[in-house]
Structure 1
Amino acid sequence: MDMQWDDLRVFLAVARAESLSGAGRVLRIDPATVGRRIARLETDLGAPLFAKSPMGYALSDAGQRLMTHAVRVEQAVEGVSEEMAGRSGGLTGQIRIGAPDGAANFVLPQVCARIARNNPDLEVQIVALPRLFSLTRREADMVVAVSPPTAGRLSVQKITDYHLHLAAHRSYLRQHPPIERREDLHGHRMVGYIQDMIFDKELDYMREAGVERVNLASNSVSVQVNWVRQGGGIGVVHDFSIPWFRGVRKILADDFSLTRSFYLVRHADDRRLERLNRFAAALVEETRAEVARLEALT
């Protein structure tokens, strides 16, 4: 059959949104039209591309096979666009970054703002969600991760190390017994993750601190550090977040410290796209500098 790029574009939108309505919003066309386009494509191919259920549209085996080829076509089209636009000018178009909310709240906004200032035609989106992202489904163009993935056709680059410490607001410390050693934590209100919602083992901070019970729990780093800021209790916080909250101070800094790393993860095929390469290089450089700057303030 004579398959057109526009057909593949509609297919990719449905595969990534897992719904006709979501694809319609991305493509800016009516969901019913999206449905007709997919039905026609399935008829032309002689195979169902999606398994449809109340939960949405999931790729069938045939859909999975087409996805691989469709992504390659998409990358080729983007590559042609880059060549036609030229490489000497500023970055343009939309780039979406997936990131854990610690990085997304306290590091990436100022990093991406600096990059955007130098590239006025660039549109940057930060998706801040406490979960893993699928680059294959193009939920994001690149992902900042706290663990390097071990499977998939991915390109992984270490960005930088960062540090975490136990911390509390001075108002909480004034109202409670002094904390001079780790055993003194018992009896204090602790702030941390909801245990069964920890999506990466690198985030299980309280286990390493020897804390068995968390009194105030959230799957969001931003919520946790705001609890600490309000004097709600003691939490393990990113050093780079501390300068944003007056009155929050490290405790037991010589006794307990964690080192973690950020990694930039991209689909391996995207290494051929100069626009994403240039953005990734700027993101890594600026993130390293920003983490170092903020940690030096604590």
Structure 2
Amino acid sequence: MAMLDWDDLRIFLAIVRAGGLSSAARELRVAQSTVGRRLASLEASLGVRLLNRTPDGYMTTLAGEDVRKQAERVEAEVLALERQVGGQDTHMAGLVRVTCSETIASNLIAPCLGTLHLTNTDIMVELIPNPRALSLSMREADISIRLTQPEQHDLVVRRIGTLAFGLYASPDYLERHGECDYDAGCAGHRLITQLEGIQDATQTDWLAELAPRATVAMQTSSHAAALAAAKQGGGLASLIRYQADQEPGLTRIEVPPLPSLIPSAGIWLVVHKDNRDTPRIRVVLDHVTKWVRGYVQELDPARFEKTKTVPAGD
């Protein structure tokens, strides 16, 4: 049997995880033909079929499942070695991959990283907005900025800020639907909510508790989409104050302190323990921390002052 190529095993794992050649190719940023060729090369080297194509995507055969387990052990060792060696990199230059949720990518993290070149011209940042928390252990990213606290033991986690939320609607919507009668469960109103499984889904639970008789008119995994829909009169939406307070087409509505306070979201800066002292990664970590903490009042204004709100129905 010919010696196995690690790149073939790596691509095989990508196909298994993505469920298809095209999805794996996008994840790996290579051509789909390359992925197919590498899979064929691996199967030829082993002399056995590893994957079967089904209506639900590619599924491992019995032999493929054995190879997957072995390949994942190899992958873990390779990644550990890369992190160990990478952590000894003393260069203040190179690529740093940063991932965050779409919720904060455009309005907070992109402006922050856009100023990094003013003091660090040799560091190139790759910003990856993704609703899925990319794996730092698997080196899908170097730094993650999340709205929920991760619990993996191999990560270094620091809370660097808080995002305050508010309840919003367009003036036109409020004129058409009237005030929010919380005692009546906001009957007759429409809600724009977040899909389950994303980082700020707690806002959906809070809205359901606040307005149990309202109708869910739209669900989305995008905070920007929820904001845009609310501006067009689509309904009530729980939005980040840092963004929504600046929108002329939205009104922030007073809400009662009960049944529960509107939840906020922590901003968590996350790095793998093996990479926290790598100079170029350390520079980006410090820059993001300083930037976000410099906007503490704008991100969480409720902590500093009782700002003017517009009562529902006014």
TM range (shorter): 0.7 to 0.9
Task: Tell me which moved more, 66-75 or 177-186.
Answer: 177-186
Deviation at 1:37, TM superposition (A): 7.2
Aligned to 1:174, the other structure's residue is in SS state helix
Hey, what does 2:68 align to over in structure 1?
60
1:100 aligns with 2:108: no
1:70 aligns with 2:78: yes
Hey, what does 1:263 align to over in structure 2?
268
Q: For the Cα contact (< 8 Å) 2:94–2:124, is it kept in 1?
A: yes
Structure 1 distance, partners of 2:182, 2:264, is 20
Hey, what does 1:170 align to over in structure 2?
171
Hey, what does 1:25 align to over in structure 2?
29
Q: For the Cα contact (< 8 Å) 1:15–1:137, is it kept in 2?
A: no
Hey, what does 1:225 align to over in structure 2?
227
Structure 1 distance, partners of 2:128, 2:271, is 15
Identity %: 19
Q: For the Cα contact (< 8 Å) 2:87–2:274, is it kept in 1?
A: no
Deviation at 1:10, TM superposition (A): 6.6
| TM value normalised by structure 1 | 0.76
Q: CA RMSD in A?
A: 3.7
Structure 2 distance, partners of 1:192, 1:28, is 36
Deviation at 1:164, TM superposition (A): 0.7
Hey, what does 1:187 align to over in structure 2?
188
Runs of 4+ in 1 over 6 A off after TM superposition: none
Residues matched between the structures, number? 281
Gap change, CA 1:140 and 1:60, over 3 Å in 2: same
Deviation at 1:228, TM superposition (A): 0.9
Aligned to 1:270, the other structure's residue is in SS state coil
Query: Residue 248 of structure 2: which of 233, 246, 249 is its match?
Result: 246
What does 1:31-46 correspond to in 2, within 5 Å? 31=35, 34-35=38-39
Structure 1 distance, partners of 2:209, 2:130, is 23
Structure 2 distance, partners of 1:280, 1:154, is 14
Structure 1 distance, partners of 2:11, 2:103, is 29
Aligned to 1:258, the other structure's residue is in SS state coil
Aligned to 1:281, the other structure's residue is in SS state helix
Aligned to 2:264, the other structure's residue is in SS state strand
Gap change, CA 1:158 and 1:29, over 3 Å in 2: farther
Structure 1 or 2: more helix by fraction: 1
